[in-house]
């Protein structure tokens, strides 16, 4: 059966842990110089309707590292830009490639491609979710913290966006405490929050005050204040989100070993100060590297079954 990765809702705890366990092995093997060929002769098609540095290059590297090949298509290069139906695109692409990696706007676009594709469809970011990113972020947390994930308090500060929604899903599935500090009107998706709270074994809480949120946190996450597609709101958001900047003053109210995550790209001195991003508590560069290892793990799992 074709298994897609469109949303973390579709996976249980052990399946999510397995992506990370395998990525940690692949990372170690990469360091030891082990070469892989298990996807030789296979091709992924990458349909990207939004820009990307990390996700694009790390998926391409991941596929090449497994011996496979990549066809990258920006939206303007395909007939999607001239309104070819998604269901037609999905069926045609399935005849040419062995998996599709898709970055787009609405989650229904990925869901519809997955409904019609006969090859695995992997969500490389939508307005609602960024599942592959959260898997590499949790892999990074596992590397830097010596406590099990279930004993950690993870905090999100800023916009209740695609990353926040996916952290909420992960908290429910993997069983860790999650607190989100967001301005009024910029909370995460309420249906996702309610479903996650109903399934969770640890508290998932949305609050206003970032200082209160990070007081006993082990990990704090930040992300841009305006996501791709929200450029018209960027100026208004600058003012609204100012109290949510992750800076030295905020970190001073947290634990000394608080770890700072940023999925990148970062807007220095907006959501995070240069001092914090470049400082010893921030592991953004490891997160970026881990995207490649987690993408190898995902491609292997979905393309080899």
Interaction partner, residue 140 (ligand NVA, ligand CP, none; CB < 5-8 Å by kind): none
Tokens of 14: 């052990």
Asked if residues 226 and 203 have their Cβ atoms less than 8 Å apart, the reply is no
Q: Which of 130, 136, 168 is nearest to 7 (CA)?
A: 130
CA distances, 242 to each of 123, 205, 223, 289 (Å): 31, 21, 13, 29
Q: Is 137 in the site for ligand NVA (CB under 6 A)?
A: no
Name the minimum Å distance from CB 161 to ligand CP.
12
CA end-to-end span of the chain: 9
The set of residues, in sequence order, having a beta carbon less than 8 Å from that of 143 and lying 6+ positions away, is: 24, 286, 290
Residues between 112 and 171 that touch ligand CP (CB under 6 A): 125, 133
Q: Classify residue 187 by its DSSP letter.
A: P
- Which one, 148 or 265, has the nearer CB to ligand CP? 265
Q: Is 227 in the site for ligand CP (CB under 6 A)?
A: no
Tokens of 254: 């947290």
Interaction partner, residue 223 (ligand NVA, ligand CP, none; CB < 5-8 Å by kind): ligand NVA
Residues between 212 and 251 that touch ligand NVA (CB under 6 A): 223-224, 227-228
Interaction partner, residue 169 (ligand CP, ligand NVA, none; CB < 5-8 Å by kind): none
Interaction partner, residue 162 (ligand NVA, ligand CP, none; CB < 5-8 Å by kind): ligand NVA
Residues between 34 and 63 that touch ligand CP (CB under 6 A): 52-55
- Which one, 57 or 240, has the nearer CB to ligand CP? 57
Selected from 263, 272, 282, 283, the binder of ligand CP by CB under 6 A is 263
Q: What number of chain residues touch ligand CP (CB under 6 A)?
A: 9
Number of H helices, E strands in the chain: 12, 9
User: At CB < 8 A and 24+ separation, what contacts does 274-279 make?
Assistant: 275/247, 275/248, 276/246, 276/247, 276/248, 276/251
Name the minimum Å distance from CB 285 to ligand CP.
12
Instruction: List residues binding ligand NVA (CB under 6 A).
Output: 125, 161-163, 223-224, 227-228, 263
């Amino acid at each position: 059966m074709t298994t897609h990765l469109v949303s973390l809702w579709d996976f249980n705890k052990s399946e999510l842990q397995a992506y990370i366990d395998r990525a940690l092995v692949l990372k170690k093997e990469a360091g030891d110089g082990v070469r892989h060929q298990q996807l030789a002769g296979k091709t992924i098609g990458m349909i990207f309707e939004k820009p990307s540095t990390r996700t694009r290059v790390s998926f391409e590297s991941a596929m090449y590292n497994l011996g496979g090949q990549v066809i990258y298509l920006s939206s303007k290069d395909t007939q999607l830009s001239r309104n070819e139906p998604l269901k037609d695109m999905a069926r045609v692409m399935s005849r040419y490639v062995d998996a599709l990696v898709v970055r787009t706007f609405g989650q229904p676009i990925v869901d519809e491609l997955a409904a019609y594709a006969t090859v695995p469809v992997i969500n490389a970011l939508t307005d609602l979710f960024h599942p592959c990113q959260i898997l590499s972020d949790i892999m990074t947390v596992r590397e830097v913290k010596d406590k099990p994930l279930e004993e950690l308090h993870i905090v999100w500060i800023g916009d209740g966006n695609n990353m926040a929604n996916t952290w909420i899903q992960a908290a429910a599935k993997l069983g860790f405490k999650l607190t989100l500090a967001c301005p009024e009107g910029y909370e995460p998706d309420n249906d996702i929050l309610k479903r996650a709270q109903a399934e969770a074994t640890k508290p998932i809480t949305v609050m206003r005050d970032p200082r209160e949120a990070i007081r006993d946190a082990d990990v704090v996450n930040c992300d841009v204040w305006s996501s791709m597609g929200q450029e018209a709101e960027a100026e208004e958001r600058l003012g609204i989100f100012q109290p949510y900047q992750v800076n030295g003053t905020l970190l001073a109210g947290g634990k000394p070993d608080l770890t700072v995550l940023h999925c990148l790209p970062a807007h220095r001195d907006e959501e995070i100060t240069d001092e914090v991003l470049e400082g010893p508590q921030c592991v953004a560069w490891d997160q970026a590297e881990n995207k490649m290892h987690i993408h190898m793990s995902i491609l292997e799992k979905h393309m080899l079954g």
